Amino acid sequence: MRSLSRPAITAVVATASVVVIAACGSSSSNSPSGSTGNTGTAKKGGTVTLVMGTAPDSLDPGFGYTTQAAEPDWLSYTGLVTYARASGTPGGQVIPGLCTGLPTISSGGKVYTCTLRKGLVYSNGKAVKASDFAYTAERAIKIPWGGSGQFITAQIAGATDYSKGKSSSITGITTDDSTGKITIRLNAPYGAFDNVLAFPSLGLIPTGTPLKNLPNNPPPGVGPYMITNIVPNQSFSTVRNPQWSKMNIPGIPAGNVDVNVKISSNVDSNALSVLNNTADVFDWADTIPGSLLPQIQAKASNRYVKKVMNSTYYIFLNVKAKPFSSQLAREAVVTGLNQNAMNRLGSGTLIPGCYFLPPGMVGHPTAPCPYGDPASGGDIAKAKALVKQSGMAGQAVTVWSETRSPRQQWMTYYTAFLNQIGFKATQKVIADANYFSTIGNLKLNPQTGFADWNQDFPNPIDFYLLLQGTAILPTNNENFGQVNDPHINSESNRLGQVPSTQLNSIASDWQNLDQYTAKQAYTAVFGYQTFPAFTSDRISQSYIFSPLYGWDFSSFSLK
């Protein structure tokens, strides 16, 4: 996902508590009981102000790919399936959306079928047709949406031909407007396809919507909310969709309040205004400045919580180039790196860890870390010895880094650390906009540097995509360390085909694989980001914080 910080799972608790909705295709009326939110008694009405530090890339679901876009979009553009309205791990559960039930999977995982509910209408009152789904997918390819290549074109049969202009529609999608039946054929079994269908980008929009990004006036959708009054880079409103309550879709309640979003890049001032109750909600994707934390903890501890989401910050180590082609050299980095220091540079928002899969993800290992407790502050002496032993001492290393804070500071610290343990490291800073396309250029063969990943959906395959040999690409490479390990390749391929709904049955397999990755020291994980959930006194604290999209606007209510 795009790195403006992204959706993730809230999970202080790990994997065990996932509730599996077993029924496939049954018209599920069992709305998942949210772990915190309860909209039954909430006060209706009113408007809340959310302050956002970074503007969304586009509120058009056919283009928007950043967290700031997904946050309002997931409530305004419901797909065939969507996520349970719940905080924590339960919120990562896929539930039926516009379809009457979860898609039935047949032909060995290659065909997904479901039927649209009756009486669905868009926010403009127009009726929803099954063929609109095909149009939505085609539009996402045409614009194109940032995830379309990976999740639509590569997965759905015939989508590649469509994107190349060889066919006028995606042959893998067949729809029947009279019955509402939608059939999707895949190129190969893809376990996370349920999650793909839940992307706001595949939230239905009317056939005939222009095939281009409409950032000023996004198309009508089906959902509890609709987006209006967009002033570019300044503000937009998410208001309750009057059509929604008529449809009465189980598990997806209508909202209580309208949400006005104000965009201001001065995050300090945003945090202060929530603290002083002049704004109501602080956008979770922004970071509360360390200097304000003491004040917030003193005055507003009852309305400030740190949320863990599924994102991993790590240092990639290029296994194809000296010095990190040596496992001992990689172990030295993992052993010696002081995660406490990294955490301070990140204003205390990191949770230490050594595993590539973050704590909220199914498959996050529970075993102790192979190279020392990450919270202990690193063993420099041992790291020095390992470097000496590896024979790579004195090797020149270029550390690649982004410009933005604290990522740059992290890499400045890391550079000094590498020098301390016996390498000759220099830092190279690349403009943020260019960073990932620069280090993703295989010709450059970057040795080491900053990397991060935020989940697209709660399935470990979304992370292991970055460590598969097949992911090594000449440009836009995301396997920065060029890891090509047969064991990882075959295991992640096998596990990736298991449908998301059966994820728990293979949790231990993922755990074993992730422990293997940590043992090989393919990446130097330095923490999992926590995100602030910070509201004004006006907001009831019974809100839902989605593990994927953060704030669930429909759970907001005024006290």
Partner 1 sequence: MTATASTGTEFSDEFASAGFGEGDQVPAGLGPWRLAWRRLRRNKTALFFGGVFILILVLCLLAPVYSHSVAHISPAAENIAGQGNNCPPTCVSVTGIPIGPTWTSSYFFGADRNGRDVAVRLLYGGRNSLEIGFVATLITMFFAIILGVLSGYFRGILDGVINRALDVIWAFPAVLLGVALGATLAVSGILFLHGTSLLVPAVVIGIVYIPYVAKPIRGQVLVLREREFIDAARQQGLSSWRIMFTEVMPNLASTIIVFVPLILANAILLEAALTYLGAGVQPPNPSWGTMISDGIAQLPAAFHDVLVPGIMLVLTVLSINIFGDGLRDALDPRAKVRIAR
Partner 2 sequence: MTRFIVRRLIAMIGVMFVISLLTFLLFESIPNGDPARRLAGRLATANEIAFIRKEYGFDQPIYVQYARMMKNIFTGQVYSYYQGFNVVDEVKLGLPATLSLAIGAGIIWLFTSIVVGTLAAVKAGKNTDRLLTVLSMVGVSFPPFFLGAILIYYLGYKLNWFPLGGYVKLTSDPWQWFVHMVLPWFTLSVLFIGFYSRVLRSTILDTINEDYVRTARAKGLSENQTLRRHVLRNSLIPIITLFGLDFAQVIGGGAILTESIFNLHGIGQLAADAIGRLDITVILVVVLLTAFFVVALAAVVDILYAFLDPRIRIAV
Q: Which residues sit at the interface with partner 2, rule CB under 8 A?
A: 1-3, 55, 57-58, 60, 63, 65, 144, 146-150, 153-154, 160, 163-164, 212-216, 231-234, 264-266, 268-269, 272, 431-434, 436-438, 440-441, 444, 465, 473-476, 478
Cβ burial of 297 (10 Å; 0-12, 13-18, 19+) is exposed
Cβ burial of 384 (10 Å; 0-12, 13-18, 19+) is middle
Q: Which partner in partner 1, partner 2, none is near 377 (CB below 5 to 8 A by kind)?
A: partner 1
Q: CA-CA distance, 414 to 394, in Å (whole number)?
A: 16
Convert 430-494 into a string of H (helix), E (strand) and C (coil): ECHHHHHHHHCCHHHCCCEEEEEEECCCCCCHHHHHHHCHHHCCCCCCCCCCCCCCHHHHHHHHH
> Contact 359/419 with Cβ under 8 angstroms?
no
Interaction residues for partner 1, span 327-366 (CB under 8 A)? 338, 340-341, 343-348
Q: Which partner in partner 1, partner 2, none is near 30 (CB below 5 to 8 A by kind)?
A: none
Work out which of 428, 440, 452, 469 binds partner 1, going by CB under 8 A. 428
Q: Give whichever of 477 and 501 is closer to partner 2, judged by the CB atom.
A: 477
DSSP string covering 213-267: --SSSPPP--SSEEEEEEETTTEEEEEE-TTHHHH--TT-PPPSSEEEEEE-S-H
Q: Give whichever of 100 and 264 is closer to partner 2, judged by the CB atom.
A: 264
Sole residue written with tokens 């202060």: 272
CA nearest to 321, candidates 333, 313, 309, 330: 330
Q: Which partner in partner 1, partner 2, none is near 340 (CB below 5 to 8 A by kind)?
A: partner 1
β-bridge mates for residue 174, sequence order: 183
Q: How far is the CB of 165 from partner 2 (least distance, A)?
A: 9
Q: 3-state class of 90 per DSSP?
A: helix
Q: How far is the CB of 460 from partner 1 (least distance, A)?
A: 31
Q: Which partner in partner 2, partner 1, none is near 478 (CB below 5 to 8 A by kind)?
A: partner 2
Q: Which partner in partner 2, partner 1, none is near 539 (CB below 5 to 8 A by kind)?
A: none
Work out which of 47, 291, 366, 541 binds partner 1, going by CB under 8 A. 291
Q: Give whichever of 183 and 420 is closer to partner 1, judged by the CB atom.
A: 420
Left (φ > 0), alpha (ψ -120 to 50) or beta: where does 391 sit?
Answer: left
Work out which of 104, 119, 232, 268 binds partner 1, going by CB under 8 A. 268
Q: Distance of CA 377 to CAs 192, 351, 449, Å?
A: 37, 13, 20
> Contact 416/336 with Cβ under 8 angstroms?
no
Q: How far is the CB of 266 from partner 1 (least distance, A)?
A: 10
For the record, the structure tokens of 25 come out as 């295709």
State yes or no: residue 121 binds partner 1 (CB under 8 A).
no
Q: Which partner in partner 1, partner 2, none is near 344 (CB below 5 to 8 A by kind)?
A: partner 1
Q: CA-CA distance, 523 to 518, in Å (whole number)?
A: 7
Q: Which partner in partner 1, partner 2, none is near 63 (CB below 5 to 8 A by kind)?
A: partner 2
State yes or no: residue 144 binds partner 1 (CB under 8 A).
no
Q: Give whichever of 46 and 290 is closer to partner 1, judged by the CB atom.
A: 290
> Contact 558/539 with Cβ under 8 angstroms?
yes
Q: By CB under 8 A, which span of 57-65, 304-312, 383-391, 409-417 interacts with partner 1? A: 409-417
State yes or no: residue 24 binds partner 1 (CB under 8 A).
no
Angle between helix axes 327-336 and 407-420 (nearest 10 degrees) is 120
What are the residues binding partner 1 (CB under 8 A)? 268, 289-291, 293-294, 338, 340-341, 343-348, 377, 380, 403, 405-406, 408-409, 412-413, 415-416, 419, 426-431, 434, 438, 444
